[in-house]
Structure 1
Amino acid sequence: MMDVPRLLITGGIILIVIGVIWHFGGRFLPLGKLPGDFLFSRGNTTIYFPLMTSIIISIILSLALYLYSQR
């Protein structure tokens, strides 16, 4: 039972760090505006599908989890 609060705090800190990097790092890697992110607009309906952004985030998370599991 003692591990759950530690896990929640660690998860919160990780989310905050990711948010700060995303906010300030958007100047260098404009996630959400990459080639391969699709935006369809017709009338007052807009559909946004961030395919390339999803692929990049998936690769980064896969690498991070792989390196973490090797430790």
Structure 2
Amino acid sequence: MADRDEEYDESAETKVPEPAKKPDVAPDQMADLTHGKTSWREEAYMTLGIVYYGGHIAHWMWLQAQDQLFPLVQPYT
């Protein structure tokens, strides 16, 4: 029993970790695997964003167009 206490086991310290498993496809090809399809959550998120911000953006664009066009039309009115 005394011999076992004196032995030092380095097996846990000297083990080489396994390399991480590489994906079968490159990251830039992962989008191609879905064939352009998006999840329903992503579609809902984009739709809600368009609905919420769409009116604000359209209004801002209308004001910008008026600011640009009004000086051009003013001499003819």
TM-score (norm 1): 0.31
Which of structures 1 and 2 has the bigger CA Rg? 2
Where is the helix percentage greater, Structure 1 or Structure 2? 2
Q: Which structure is higher in strand share?
A: 1
Normalising by the residue count of structure 2, what TM-score does the alignment of the two structures yield?
A: 0.29
